[in-house]
Amino acid sequence: MTVIIITTFEKSPDRGAGLARDTRVRWALEEVGQPYEVRPVSFRAMKELAHLALHPFGQIPTYEEGNLTLFETGAIVFHIAEQHAGLLPRDANAQARAITWMFAALNTIEPPILELVNAKLLESDKPWNKERMPLLRNRVRDRLKQLSVYLGESNWLDGAFSAGDLMMVSVLLRLKSSGLLNEYPNLAAYVARGEARPAYKRAFDAQLALYMASQQSVSPDSTP
């Protein structure tokens, strides 16, 4: 069997909170029962040519499987879902709808969330940030409200759990510290259902264990 290798942060900047994008790929691999190996990459190495050859934008995760190399979490999760049973329905129309939710998570729900995250990360020292944050929170609310109405009392977005839910829950998890998720109880419950899946727990625990280990060891970059 071909070995699957993914790259991750050597020391995740979220301190093992599970928000780095490798968690999405780990989760998908756990859902379909595929073993994988991890190659941690330092921030410095991420911008070097060897890694840029795998990922033109110098990020993690990447995915290697024999002579196939992929980057971009959505594409990697889709590839895993297409190759193995468990993340996409068999019916062609249901499958197209599950894929729709993957794209909706990444291109409709995540962008306003990223704007909010970026404002905290990159503009917290700017004089406008305090006045601007409520605007950004409202833009996120606009989308959450629509998603909440759509989801209603359903457990998952379209029938059984799919790669669309995996991606949507992963995107919504970024909002935990903002408090916004709790304004929509059915969305908070939806995210909690995702987190309660054994495959998610295994993925989360694995990335946390790597972070904890990185705190106890000397970085490879600093050894001779």
Binding mask 136-175 for a copy of itself (x = CB under 8 A): -------x--xx-xx-------------------------
Nearer to a copy of itself, 163 or 210 (CB): 163
Piece of 4-12, 73-81, 185-193, 216-224 that binds a copy of itself (CB under 8 A): 73-81
State the minimum distance, in angstroms, from the CB of residue 71 to a copy of itself.
6
- Beta strands 37-41 and 62-65: pairing type? unpaired
Tell the burial category of 139 from Cβ atoms under 10 Å away from its Cβ (0-12, 13-18, 19+): middle
In the list 2, 57, 179, 218, the residue contacting a copy of itself (rule: CB under 8 A) is: 57
Nearer to a copy of itself, 108 or 178 (CB): 108
In the list 33, 56, 185, 220, the residue contacting a copy of itself (rule: CB under 8 A) is: 56
Per CB under 8 A, does 44 bind a copy of itself? no
Per CB under 8 A, does 75 bind a copy of itself? yes
Nearer to a copy of itself, 52 or 213 (CB): 52
Task: Tokens 């024999």: give the residue.
Answer: 66
Alpha-carbon span 106 to 86, nearest angstrom = 21
State the minimum distance, in angstroms, from the CB of residue 18 to a copy of itself.
19
Alpha-carbon span 136 to 105, nearest angstrom = 18
State the minimum distance, in angstroms, from the CB of residue 208 to a copy of itself.
25
In the list 8, 12, 23, 73, the residue contacting a copy of itself (rule: CB under 8 A) is: 73
H-state helical runs in the chain? 22-31, 43-46, 49-52, 73-83, 92-104, 110-122, 129-151, 163-173, 185-195, 198-216
As given in the structure block, the two tokens for residue 133 are: 């944050």
Task: Tokens 């709808």: give the residue.
Answer: 97
Query: Nearest to residue 98, comparing CAs of 184, 31, 189?
Result: 31
Per CB under 8 A, does 3 bind a copy of itself? no
Residue type, 9: F
Does a cis peptide bond (omega within 30 degrees of 0) precede residue 56? Answer: no
Binding site for a copy of itself (CB under 8 A): 56-58, 67-68, 70-76, 78-79, 93, 96-97, 99-100, 102-104, 106-108, 110-111, 114-115, 118, 122-123, 126-128, 131-132, 135, 143, 146-147, 149-150
